[in-house]
Chain A
Amino acid sequence: MKTTTDPKEYPLVIVGTGLAGMAAALFAANRGIAAAQVGGAGGILFASGFMDLMGVHPVERGRRLEDPWAGIDEVRRDIPEHPLARMENGDIRQALEEVLVFLEAGGLPYVRFQEKNAEVITPLGTVKPTYAVPRSMEAGVVALREGRPCLLVDFLGLKEFNARLIASALEDRWPGLRWARISFPGSERMSRVFTRHMAKALELREPQEQLAEKVRPLVRDAEAVGMPAVFGIGRAHEIVSRFQQAVGVPVFEIPTLPASVPGFRLRVTFSSHLQGRGIRPFYQTKVLQVREEGDGFLLSIGGAGVERLVRARGILLATGRFFSQGLMADRKGIREPLFDLPVRQPASRTLWHSRDLMDRRGHPVNRAGLEVDDRFRPLDRAGKPAFRRLFAAGSILAHQDWIRMKCGSGLAIATAYAAVKAFSEEAGS
């Protein structure tokens, strides 16, 4: 492996390219911190596009929250160690605001619903509460809320989205929901079609018009049309709004199973607009090793046969959980591979999971993760910050079950905000 040394020292190296890592890079850029970002190509690709803040609490009762802010207040009382409970609502709000403003400027506008949660349809036909949705999905929220006659359309050969499945899952709740299957223009002879290819095709006028031609006769009594999220990678809301003019009724997107087009949109928007704001990306790489050096850290990052040494004053760990190897599980327990930080976890492996797979409380292993102080610095075994300028954000943190609580995006964005803020205070002092 070839080794090169980056002579530049970065004030902050953000490890991770998921939503927490991307948001942290944005917060750093907005505060004039010339950070570097290291991580693979994945991460944010698996996002659905919905921005959840706090949707369910307490999970054992499965209570859906109408007001996420009141919900966070409750969580603060019930689970004081929950990462969001360590923050002021004002900071959380500011963090979300900054990200949504950035996305809007990058051509990916979001819609909120008077600071309340809205119910949205998932690709499996379930319904979940979320805080903000891409504008291309807005009409779906209204259609579901009002239960008006609606048509869901899917495509022949598309495996990741099934309109019939969704319609039958929502049958009881939404009697006016119909479904239809059509072939995608230009792919009539194909046995398989893929979302991103359709999205690229729909960035052109001709396929848009051909698709509208196919959908229009199916509308009949429907007052809205829901379709898989394939309306372009860039400026989807504009394509959707042009499309619904051609079809005659409001049209909305529903995310497909990951990795989906909304994930591609988020990644493209973040990665292309962050670079212009002074973030040095080292995408398609991973941190191979890290050690303390002088007042900061020396990281060895690698990818494509090249190893590079990078110096950093501070590090923000946004490496996620097991899927992205931010946490690693083996026979003995769960460990954090980069710094070997202590991981809060059940005492033995037999206690990781409840006996009931579908246990509404979730499984103890879901709440495993890093313990942090109020400045989001991971703690060592003695309960003290492990390093003065090492911070952690996102799903790697302990005491949260973001999937069941529907707080993934809020957790990622808000803790990234808190960690970057803490870093800049620490660096300033």
Chain B
Amino acid sequence: MFFDVVLKLSLGIFLLGTFLQVRRWFRVRIGPDAAAFSGWQRVGAALRGMVPVVFGRRVFSLLRALIFDVLLQTRTLRRDVRRWIAHILVFYGFLLLLVMHALDRTVTASLFPGYEPTLNPFLWLRNLFGFMVLVGVGLAAYRRIRLGRPALFTRPSDRTALVLLAVIVLSGFLLEAAKIVSWPVFHEMADEYAPMADEEEVRSLQAYWAAHFGVVFPDPEAFSADAEKTLEQGGEVHESSCASCHDRPVSAFLSFPLSRLLAPVAPFLNRARADRWLLFVHYLSCLIALALLPFTKFFHLAATPVGLLSRAALNPVTVLPANRVTRRALALDACTHCGDCTLHCSVAPVYRRIPNPDILPSEKLYSIREMVRGGSLAPGSMRALAEGGSICTRCYRCTTICPSGIYLQDLWIASSAGLALKGFPEPRVRVKQASTAEWAERIRYHTDAFPVHRNPSLPPRALSDRSETFEACIQCQTCTNMCPVVAWSPDPPGDVAITPQQIMNLLRIGLKELTLGSPMVWDCVTCYLCQEHCPEGIPVTDILYELRNLAYEKFRDLPEEDPDGTENPLLPGRPGSAKGAVV
């Protein structure tokens, strides 16, 4: 009765939670373009996106994604075999337990009419599946402990998920072991299925079960007299009354050894009816997991396959803008926080110098989630998130490796653009409030207004200070010709859009400061085309990147006022004011 109520309650919470979470996929807004669509428009766009897929040739790529990406999880396999093994063990172990064991009355019993949980192969299989989950959870926990920060952050949600799985499976094994040793359970069963008048028969069956089924009776010495004959008789009773439902528990290859371990304390356990308590724990932990599923990391069970399938189904170029927005919201649930993106992130090493977790993609995603779900973030967190976003070079590595197939790149661009509208990161927004020419002019006459600090994060002799790094430049313009930022730049007439080769020239004539306010330095996407093609082998990209670090620091620490109380001449206005932000 109690369990029935709890089951219905958890099922209700599960359904409601799922509904609310799925609704969020269509309501959460990330990026400036998201404001253009209402929730219903996004639902409509999702449906419209689905129709040509289901009825078109793309249905095959959908099938392929279902088999390889979802069922076989090849995206994980390609990255890390050990993690794939762990995940497959947990995923299939649990799935099979759910189908064969938790839903045995509806599924297993109808497929196999003679089904009894205590018969083989089910007895053995249950142990196998449970063992799979345990090994998988163990491997996952080991990975999290071994890698540790900063390579892999473990959040409470990761811990909750692993602990919950471990509690479910371990309580299951303990429950089975406790039932094996339990004489009260034996008597309940015997009374129900083999009512015996004869005291001797009862004793012989007890002797038989004590010897072959591991039941621990309160007075074991009672069977010792004439053991062989008693056992034989017990065997006969067993065959006629019990054997059709009970195989020997030896095949429960984990629970049975566990029951042997428990044997010394079995009299106590049996008196306390530990089996009932364990059953309670086992059931309750399962129902808690069910109720929590939509609100925890477990929800990736729904979101990740949807994400992977939509990735296969939607053409990345022609995808409807509204679906792009929906996909971002979905991504927040599809992330399993496996940490692969951070392990492969090009700028992850920056975290060692600037301990801002939002530099790391796996953590940035969570901050974005917090921001969009909570409506907003505290300015400090917003600043951190924007800084993390601006340190990202959009190199695309995270996007190509994400096992959940999330378009992380799009998420970073959209969230950074959204933050820029709010005035973050301040140095960048500040820089964009004046043109290169204006900055050059200001910096030239007010160099003193810049904060003076040596950048501790750079080696003592930085690239941009060493003439050997750029003196070979022959101004052939190959870097500029290769540069996608120059190709894209709107370059209004009158503005001095400094190109990479002009930056090399400014360095040569000792006017490094004049480069710091240029879009070239701030917008460089570090694609390395200039550096790869430089006929003189000049590390153009490395220099630009170094200048950006320097510029970021200078503009971040720009004092609002000069020591004499006048406004800093380098400050063109407060972030987010008049001219606003352009990204």
Chain A contacts to B: CB under 8 angstroms: 40-43, 45-46, 160, 189-192, 194-197, 200, 258-259, 264, 284, 286, 303, 323
Contacts and interface: CB of A to CB of B under 8 A. Distances in A.
B481 A196 contact: yes
Contacts, number: 61
Interface string B216-253: 00000000000000000000000000000000000000
B491 A286 contact: no
B507 interface: no
Given A189-B491, A194-B477, A46 B535 contact: yes
Interface of B: 474, 476-478, 480-482, 486-487, 489-495, 497, 499, 532-537
Contact of B532 (A41, A43, A200): A41
A40 B495 CA distance: 34
Contacts of B487: 194, 197, 200
Given A41-B533, A284-B532, A192 B481 contact: no
Contacts of A41: 478, 532-535, 537
A116 B557 CA distance: 68
Contact of A303 (B480, B489, B492, B537): B537
A305 to B, nearest CB: 10
Interface centre among B476, B477, B535, B537 (most CB of A within 10 A): B535
Contact of B481 (A46, A189, A197): A197
B144 to A, nearest CB: 31
B120 to A, nearest CB: 56
A191 B534 contact: no
Given A190-B491, A194-B487, A259 B535 contact: yes
Given A41-B532, A190-B491, A259 B478 contact: yes
A196 B482 contact: yes
Nearest to A284: B532
B394 to A, nearest CB: 20
Contacts of A43: 535
Contacts of A40: 535-537
A284 B534 CA distance: 9
Given A46-B476, A191-B494, A197 B486 contact: yes
A189 B476 contact: no
Contacts of B534: 41-42
Given A40-B537, A41-B478, A46-B535, 6 more contacts: A40-B536, A42-B478, A46-B476, A189-B491, A195-B481, A259-B478
A200 B487 CA distance: 10
Chain A interface main SS type: loop
A189 B490 contact: yes
Contacts of B480: 194
A345 to B, nearest CB: 24
A194 B486 contact: yes
A196 B483 CA distance: 9
A45 B491 contact: no
B472 to A, nearest CB: 9
A194 B480 CA distance: 8
B481 A194 contact: yes
Contacts of B532: 41, 284
Nearest to A200: B487
Nearest to B472: A325
Given A195-B481, A197-B486, A259-B476, A45 B493 contact: no
Nearest to B495: A191
Nearest to B502: A192
B498 to A, nearest CB: 10
B276 to A, nearest CB: 65
A194 B493 CA distance: 15
A63 B534 CA distance: 37
A46 B491 CA distance: 27
A41 B472 CA distance: 14
A407 B570 CA distance: 57
Contacts of B493: 189-191
A46 B489 CA distance: 26
A43 B476 CA distance: 12
A196 B487 CA distance: 9
B483 to A, nearest CB: 8
A177 B413 CA distance: 50
A98 to B, nearest CB: 26
B494 A45 contact: no
Given A189-B493, A194-B487, A259-B476, A286 B537 contact: yes
A200 B529 CA distance: 14
A192 B497 CA distance: 9
A170 B481 CA distance: 29
Contacts of A194: 477, 480-481, 486-487
A303 B538 CA distance: 11
26 contacts: A40-B535, A40-B536, A40-B537, A41-B533, A41-B535, A41-B537, A42-B535, A42-B536, A43-B535, A45-B478, A45-B533, A45-B535, A46-B476, A46-B535, A160-B477, A189-B490, A189-B492, A190-B490, A191-B494, A192-B499, A194-B487, A197-B481, A259-B476, A259-B477, A259-B535, A286-B537
A160 B501 CA distance: 15
Nearest to A187: B491
Contacts of B533: 41, 45
A41 B537 CA distance: 7
A263 to B, nearest CB: 9
A323 B487 CA distance: 28
Nearest to A324: B535
Contacts of B495: 191
B490 A284 contact: no
Given A41-B532, A45-B478, A196-B481, A191 B537 contact: no
A191 B497 contact: yes
Contacts of A195: 481
B482 to A, nearest CB: 7
Contacts of B535: 40-43, 45-46, 259
B477 to A, nearest CB: 7
Contacts of A45: 476, 478, 533, 535
A320 to B, nearest CB: 11
